[in-house]
Structure 1
Amino acid sequence: MLKKITAAALSLLALGAAQAANPLFAPLYTADPAVLVEGGRVYLFAGRDEALPAGKDFVMHEWRVFSSCDMVNWRDDGVPLKARTFAWAKGRAWASDIVKRDGKYWFYSTVEHATVPGFAVGVAVSDSPTGPFVDARGSALVTNDMTQQTDIAWDDIDPTVFLDDDGQAWLYWGNTVLKYAKLKASMTELDGPIHVLPVKDFVEAPYLHKRKVEGKSTYYLSYSEFFPEQTAYLTGPSPTGPWTPRGVIMAKNLKTPTIHQAIFDFNGRSYIAYHNAELPGGGEYRRSVAIEEFSYRPDGTIPFIEQTKTGPKANPSAGCK
């Protein structure tokens, strides 16, 4: 009976997404999207918001993963890991990011530490993008006592991981203060000191990606600024800059003060994933992941992107099942 119910739920999920793309994944409330593209399929990871309608705080115990071959029909691939996958954590499945290296999938995530006051960054690993993931270290990669720039407990959140063409991996994270560090090839250790990147009005949600512009590599560092948040970005010639401010690419939400983006390409088109709170019953602690398609300008800059209810058009990937 359980298998029949699950199959029916997945069918409804795919049908609902085909009819009205944004927000995605109803009836679940989801937030903080991270994206991996592989094998003609998009894998989207999101924390699950489980707060009650009158809730006054985030209730997040697990990450979910959904996948699509065409950006319209989405498959629910379940729960690849939970906050308590990290035995040293006491909960809080906050924002994450994922990258593939050497045939393994490395998942960097925000959790609340059980013994070191404040939030921490953990790293989990799997042989599959859909999990199951296991703790890759047995301890946190970054703890709140490792950074002293602020006295808040949540300044070590929202990790984004970027693997450059030269094999160097980078980790960016932070709230109020944007921090970054190199990662060793093991993907489980910092390779050198933690640096601070002074970004005016930075709040959280850093995200790093790269593309060629007029034959040269351009790095895009997007993030949330102000509160309520809007999405802005910088560009630079390397993962460490120097950085040029490029302005706002998505406006603040109406029903939640956060937004949190991931930018990616799939089948020759460009997309931004983000969250709002536009599902029925949505709010600050009951958010909804959505996706928009956009096109870079000829000079490589990103235009302002409007949120829509229709979302992207179908973009089927040949041979994807």
Structure 2
Amino acid sequence: MKKTWLVALLGLVAYLPAPAQNPIIKDVFTADPAPLVYRDTLFLYAGHDTASVSETNYKMPDWRIYSTTDMVHWKDYGKRLSPRTFAWATGDAYAAQCVYRKGKFYWFVSTFHKKDDHSQGGAAIGVAVSDRPTGPFKDAIGKALVVNEMTTDKPHAWDDIDPTVFVDDDQQVYMYWGNLSCRWVKLKDNMTELAGPIQVITPKNYIEGPWVYKRKKLYYLVYASAGTKPEMIEYCTAPSPTGPWTYRGIIQENVPNSFTTHPGIIDYKGKSYFFYHNGALPTGGSYRRSICVDYLRYNPDGTIQKIVQTTEGVAPVK
């Protein structure tokens, strides 16, 4: 009888869903997470690190897509977009974000521009479009949305990177991006044209990787920051998507074995999640990063509690 109960108990344990573990993707090196919830599925758009152990710079040939319905098991769709998709582009696949808008999926990417009649090179932002969250994606406009010559407040050529796109309740679309300064602009309803002048803001300790969203009546601007070097995650809040922004502090300390970190924030099935990357996988590092996810928790006044980085990850959801 005892043996029968033991077998039954072991069978029940085997049936129970296992918790996730950080990093959540272990077979390739991934970075710059951008989550999107569509219907009952969470899709994760990611950069792809392929630098060797000995290399000391980024090598990011493409963007990949993953999905989950339980926050534990991730379906891998593989490479779904690359700078080669854009005839005007060259170089690496930097941080990107995909958003859903009126039946289509718009993937805003940062890469580099060829020297031609439109730009003399440097970082640029493009837009790909698809009818499905996993593609296939194609260049939405046949040219870059933002080129280096359009932003002159910083002298370096890699400042137009890391776009995040936010659709407000009134359906006005905003894009934020930038390295060492944060730029924002309104987009037209077609998602492929600027609807006004580019504005520049200077959040405290801002470096790059902005992520903008709204919760209740408060707007959040979360970003990779100078911190104590390497990067941390800090944030500001505002009563509108255009500010004024009030600095709120550090929410994520340094991550293991990576100079950079990058925020991606989403609500899914009743929980709030904070995606980021670190260098914790075997042979990982600043140029061989891995995406993780932990819980995001708020105080009653809407401020964000410090992120607790875990190796266990988050619990499964139904």
Q: Give the alignment's TM-score, normalised by structure 2.
A: 0.91
Could you report, residue by residue, the CA deviation over 1:48-104 in whole angstroms, capped at 9, with x for unpaired residues?
A: 100011011111111110000010111102222111111110121110011111100
Which residue number in structure 1 is paired with residue 198 of structure 2?
194
Which residue number in structure 2 is paired with residue 176 of structure 1?
180
Which residue number in structure 2 is paired with residue 128 of structure 1?
132
Query: How much does 1:20 deviate?
Result: 4.8
Alpha-carbon distance in structure 1 between the residues aligned to 2:24 and 2:36:
17
Counterpart contact for 2:20–2:71, Cα < 8 Å? no
Structure 2 counterpart of 1:268, from 258, 261, 270: 270
- Counterpart of 1:315, as a letter, is V
Which residue number in structure 1 is paired with residue 70 of structure 2?
70
Query: How much does 1:304 deviate?
Result: 0.3
Say if 2:147 is the partner of 1:160: no
- Counterpart of 1:55, as a letter, is E
Q: Which structure 2 segments of 5+ residues have no match?
A: 1-16
Say if 2:275 is the partner of 1:301: no
Which residue number in structure 2 is paired with residue 22 of structure 1?
22
- Counterpart of 2:199, as a letter, is H
Say if 2:107 is the partner of 1:111: no
Q: Secondary structure at the match of 1:130?
A: coil
Q: Secondary structure at the match of 2:145?
A: coil
- Counterpart of 2:294, as a letter, is E
Alpha-carbon distance in structure 2 between the residues aligned to 1:314 and 1:187:
34
Could you report, residue by residue, the CA deviation over 1:125-184 in whole angstroms, capped at 9, with x for unpaired residues?
A: 000110111000100000111110111111100000001111100000000011000000
- Counterpart of 1:103, as a letter, is G
Over 3 Å off, 4+ runs: 17-20
Instruction: Look at both structures and tell me which one has the larger radius of gyration over its CA atoms.
Output: 2
Which residue number in structure 1 is paired with residue 4 of structure 2?
none
Q: Secondary structure at the match of 2:79?
A: coil
Q: How does 1:30-41 map to 2 (within 5 A)?
A: 30-41=30-41
Q: Secondary structure at the match of 1:78?
A: strand
Query: How much does 1:293 deviate?
Result: 1.2
Q: Secondary structure at the match of 1:80?
A: strand
Q: Secondary structure at the match of 1:196?
A: strand
Could you report, residue by residue, the CA deviation over 1:26-64 in whole angstroms, capped at 9, with x for unpaired residues?
A: 120000001110111100011110001101111111111
Alpha-carbon distance in structure 1 between the residues aligned to 2:58 and 2:19:
29
Which residue number in structure 1 is paired with residue 97 of structure 2?
97
Give the CA RMSD over aligned residues: 1.2
Which residue number in structure 2 is paired with residue 232 of structure 1?
234
Could you report, residue by residue, the CA deviation over 1:212-234 in whole angstroms, capped at 9, with x for unpaired residues?
A: 1xxxx110100011041100011
- Counterpart of 1:23, as a letter, is P
Q: Which structure 1 segments of 5+ residues have no match?
A: 1-16, 317-321
Query: How much does 1:18 deviate?
Result: 4.7
Cα pair distance change 1:18/1:93, threshold 3 Å: farther
Q: Secondary structure at the match of 1:303?
A: coil
Deviates more, 1:80-89 or 1:18-27: 18-27
Q: Alignment length, in residue pairs? A: 296
